A and B are shown apart, each in its own frame.
Chain A
Amino acid sequence: MSYTEATLQLLSPAGALVESDATAEYLPLVEKLTDTELREFHRVMAVTRAFDVEGTNLQRQGQIGIWVPSLGQEAAQVGSGFAMRPQDHVFPSYREHAVGIIRGIDVIDIVRLFRGLTHGGWVPEEHGNFHIYTMVLGSQTLHATGYAMGVSLDGKAGTGNPEVDEAVVTYFGDGSTSQGDVNEALVFAASYQTPELFFLQNNQWAISVPVSKQSRTPLYLRPGGFGIPGIQIDGNDVLISYAASRKYLEETRAGEGPRFIEALTYRMGAHTSSDDPSKYRTEEETAHWAALDPISRFETYLRSRGEGEDFFTDVKTEAADFASDIRRRTLELGVPSVDAMFDNVYSEPHPLIAEEKQWLEGYEAAYAGTEAGE
């Protein structure tokens, strides 16, 4: 349920830097981080949490159909998100809000998705190569692997120039590891030695089913059977998430083949706003993980480095403003045009779609101005 002897950690739950032989190779990567970068880690985690709280509130008030919180998983996402380079591509599941923020999406597009205005939301190439959310569990891991095969075919991995070489990151959860697609993605990634990082956020629960039902073996051991190196990290430690992702991304970018990280974290909130976690997990468990909160842990660390109260106050203000801005913009969102239903089913003209669109226009026009047509 919690950390194991294999779990790599740089920041203890008490917020102190941990030095050990196991993490010796990761520490220098963290020591290179500037104060500004460390502040940015905290800022994005705090903003993401405020966004999640606001998303849940908007759902409770009927403004969003469903909300999928990332609450509790901020460190796993922020660490790995900041470890990427601009040219990298990201194939998320549907809970990677913090990674999306880092890669430059406008999170109102996530709101549009869950408000029922779109099935997608953004153009990946214009938003940090952050691909759109995938609702079928694990499907995106194959897309990521195929994309990474394309990177290799293009000769954009293993050239030795880290500014040019590209890597692909795919996010998925503990429930998804049982899906055939994830296992097939690991097979293909190993066979074609893709420049790819499999980033598993093990948040302990697939809706109501515990990870023990998904696997009898620690999940970081699975990739070994596919010939892919894997490690387990403390996913609530933003520093190890950053350092491990950085190291593995540089290795895979350099053409050394795919890599796998299991980040142990916890879904502090519900699976979605439709879920009731009190039906299947104990207060003891949630209290245990509350004590391992990724944001307060990192805040303690920053304070121990001398970060002043002003910074934390500013971040609080910024997060609150961010949330209220999202609320305002959510209430301003319109309804998509009916044309949108027909226009992008195919890239090329399609007679049946054209005919149905035209029929609907005539049908609507026939009732325009009548009570039924209001």
Chain B
Amino acid sequence: MSEFESLPMAKALNAGLRQAMQDNPKVLLMGEDIGPLGGVFRVTEGLQAEFGDKRVMDTPLAESGIVGTAIGLAMRGYRPVCEIQFDGFVFPAFDQITSQLAKLTNRHEGGISMPVVIRIPYGGHIGAVEHHQESPEAYFAHTPGLRVVSPSTPHDAYWMIQDAIRSDDPVIFMEPKSRYWPKGDVDFADRGRTLHSTAVAREGTEVTLLGHGAMVSVLLQAADLAAEEGTSVEVLDLRSLSPIDYGPILESVRKTGRLVIAQEAPGFGSVGSEIAATVAERAFYSLESPVLRVSGFDTPFPPAKLETIYLPDADRVLEAVDRALAY
């Protein structure tokens, strides 16, 4: 039984948050400007009016304070969902996230859970100033104790935010901000996949493309262009960056023999690097070419007028596809 509605991701997240708050009175939202304004991206629009200012809290402008008090609220039995306004603003909270939130269950020898979700709008394509276009997911994926996910579609956004809130572990929820506005079908009746699973976004046979968040739409565009030239490309949507669901990735690589990983983040020490290493370890004899990465450059995210050069696009992905096929 399906109940489809076409929504942009921001509204799908809003619906997912509303559902989670209706389902569990312990779910709280905390963040800067999330009340009457509804957040700078309007993801929480209308929720304070509906649930009150005790469950949708406009906080003081202090990210470490937001996450640190969310930890205390979780110890008290609440399930806080924190909004970090922009990717580059998460670092004042980095200590509370990596040294406290990530480790408290371990430090308590399993005696407590830390059901805290940290929503981070991330990535480029919006022409914004410095600190507003970054992709810091690798820092969190590298940290034991955290889970890291990123939806690429409104449907996944609606379901994954609810799954993240239901998780008893801390979840870093990376929202590809350039995908907040394009509409997509949301099935309100059928979730489809579980939170930590890799999805096949498009089937193909010759090369596998893998990415997450906003990069998935770039990969699908590249797959269309490749098809016009007669190349069959499979596209995988990673969805979960920690843990990584390797089953579908290895299955696809065994079929195509070629893997190109695309990401907006700098390539050095990235999630894509981790996957490349693991695929090389586990699918060595299936590979027809080295695993190739198409990443943001290892520079600071550039001023907005240069972002189209910095961010991987379909052409850069197809260049890598050509290189992979040349082996």
Contact = CB atoms under 8 A, between A and B. Distances in A.
B75 A347 contact: no
B64 A180 contact: yes
B24 interface: no
B305 interface: no
Q: Which 7 A-B pairs have the closest CB atoms?
A: A146-B72, A142-B68, A150-B76, A146-B69, A184-B65, A344-B110, A147-B72
B36 to A, nearest CB: 16
Contact of A181 (B54, B76, B78, B96): B96
A345 B105 contact: yes
Interface string B75-102: 1111000000000000010011001100
Interface in A312-329: none
Contact of B95 (A120, A123, A136, A188): A136
Nearest to B60: A187
A143 B78 contact: no
User: Which label, helix, strand, loop or mixed, suits the secondary structure of the A interface?
Assistant: helix
A212 B117 CA distance: 40
A181 B68 contact: yes
B60 A151 contact: no
A132 B108 CA distance: 8
A202 interface: no
A188 B75 contact: no
A338 to B, nearest CB: 14
B69 A120 contact: no
A120 B169 contact: no
A134 B144 CA distance: 18
Nearest to B110: A344
Given A188-B60, A344-B106, A348-B169, A139 B100 contact: yes
11 contacts: A119-B106, A139-B99, A142-B67, A143-B68, A184-B64, A188-B60, A191-B60, A340-B109, A345-B145, A351-B245, A352-B242
B78 A150 contact: yes
B269 interface: no
A143 B100 contact: yes
B286 interface: no
Nearest to A143: B72
Interface residues of A, number: 40
Contacts of B28: 153
A25 interface: no
Contact of A345 (B62, B73, B144): B144
A348 B167 contact: yes
A144 interface: yes
Contacts of B172: none
A210 B210 CA distance: 55
B64 A347 contact: no
A19 interface: no
Contacts of B99: 136, 139
A154 B78 CA distance: 10
B72 A149 contact: yes
B96 A352 contact: no
Nearest to B244: A352
Contact of B106 (A153, A345, A352): A345
Given A149-B72, A154-B76, A352-B243, A346 B145 contact: yes
B51 to A, nearest CB: 12
Contacts of B178: none
Contact of B169 (A124, A136, A184, A347): A347
A143 B71 contact: yes
A184 B60 contact: yes
A69 to B, nearest CB: 22
A346 B60 CA distance: 30
Contact of B107 (A120, A142, A145, A184): A120
